[in-house]
């Protein structure tokens, strides 16, 4: 099961964009939904209206959707959970999600999130994570997080899944705070690549790779046009480069992980044959 939620956990819309892209690639079947009447404050997350036939209006209420897809060549099927972050009764909400997971025999829960950070847009996306299996973090090449403080539904669901005995992985992408208002396909792509290793599923993300390159070019052009912003970004770049030099080689997946991921990709391209 992979889950992402809009709102506090979703800087630059990166986490929800990643899950939406995964959803579009595998075309899952919608199998359940959670009505959010008791979990949302509708003055903060409002329903929307749309015109239908005869100029009448239809109200679309926010909800959590649960979809499932069979992945040819992969070891497991995939369950996708997405929706806005609930504002109320988080324990009951997480219990509802995990009840669905139990009915579907989910063995691993992967949560995706994105946070604002002092990072430059011109460097590789910095990923941090937590996993119920510590060796898995090393294998996947994530930086262990030492964060303590307020959390969102992503952190609460991951914790609840672990207490329920499920294997858990939490992956977070750092998004430059100076472009927080813009959707960030580069961070979304980084989350998808990390998800591939954690889920054992290959995702064809060529379209998103192009969007990430366009994003970086556009932000770089905007930064270059403002001397103060350019100087600020250059300081962030220098600071990140110094940290990378002090740490030695970047924390990358092992050769065995890269090889197995490539083999998995080939299996999925061939399907059952």
CA distance 45 to 153: 15
- Closest Cα partner for 254 from 140, 163, 145? 140
- Which residues fall within 8 angstroms of residue 213, CB to CB, at 6 or more apart? none
> Is pLDDT at 271 greater than 90 in this prediction?
no
How far is 142 from 131, CA to CA, in rounded Å? 10
The answer for 220, left when phi > 0, alpha when psi is -120 to 50, beta otherwise, is: alpha
Residues 142 and 195: their CA atoms lie apart, in Å, by: 11
pLDDT digits (tens, 9 = 90+) for 106-160: 999 999 999 999 999 999 999 998 998 877 777 777 778 878 889 999 999 999 9
pLDDT at 258 exceeding the cut of 80: no
At residue 254 the predicted structure's pLDDT band, cuts being 50, 70 and 90, is very low
Nearest to 17 by CA among 201, 248, 186, 266: 186
**Lowest-pLDDT range of 83-97, 136-150, 175-189, 258-272:** 258-272
Question: Domains in the chain and their CATH numbers?
Answer: 2-270 (3.40.50.10900)
Smallest CA-to-CA distance from 7 within 68, 75, 85 is with 85
In the prediction, which pLDDT does 264 show?
A: 52
What pTM was estimated for this model as a whole?
Answer: 0.86
Query: Is pLDDT at 53 greater than 70 in this prediction?
Result: yes
CB 7 within 8 A of CB 152: yes
Distance CA 182, CA 64 (A): 24
């Amino acid at each position: 099961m992979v889950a992402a939620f809009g709102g506090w956990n979703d800087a630059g819309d990166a986490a929800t964009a990643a899950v939406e892209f995964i959803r579009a690639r595998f075309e899952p079947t919608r199998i359940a939904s959670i009505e959010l009447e008791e979990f949302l404050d509708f003055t903060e997350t409002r329903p929307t209206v749309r015109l239908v036939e005869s100029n009448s209006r239809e109200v679309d209420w926010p909800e959590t959707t649960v979809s499932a897809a069979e992945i040819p060549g992969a070891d497991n099927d995939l369950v996708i959970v997405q929706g806005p972050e609930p504002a109320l009764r988080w324990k009951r909400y997480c219990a509802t999600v995990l009840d669905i997971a139990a009915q579907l025999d989910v063995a691993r829960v992967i949560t995706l999130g994105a946070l604002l950070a002092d990072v430059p847009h011109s460097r590789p996306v910095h990923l941090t994570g937590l996993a119920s299996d510590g060796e898995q973090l090393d294998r996947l090449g994530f930086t262990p997080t030492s964060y303590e403080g307020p959390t969102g539904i992503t952190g609460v669901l991951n914790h609840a899944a672990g207490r329920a005995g499920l294997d858990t992985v939490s992956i977070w992408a750092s998004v430059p705070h100076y472009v927080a208002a813009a959707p960030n396909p580069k961070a979304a792509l980084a989350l998808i690549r990390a998800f591939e290793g954690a889920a054992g599923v290959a995702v064809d993300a060529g379209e998103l790779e192009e969007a990430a390159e366009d994003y970086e070019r556009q932000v770089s052009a905007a930064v270059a046009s403002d001397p103060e912003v350019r100087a600020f970004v250059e300081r962030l770049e220098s600071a990140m480069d110094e940290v990378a030099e002090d740490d030695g080689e970047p924390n990358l997946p092992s050769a065995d992980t890269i090889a197995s991921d490539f083999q998995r990709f080939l299996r999925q391209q061939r399907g059952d044959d």
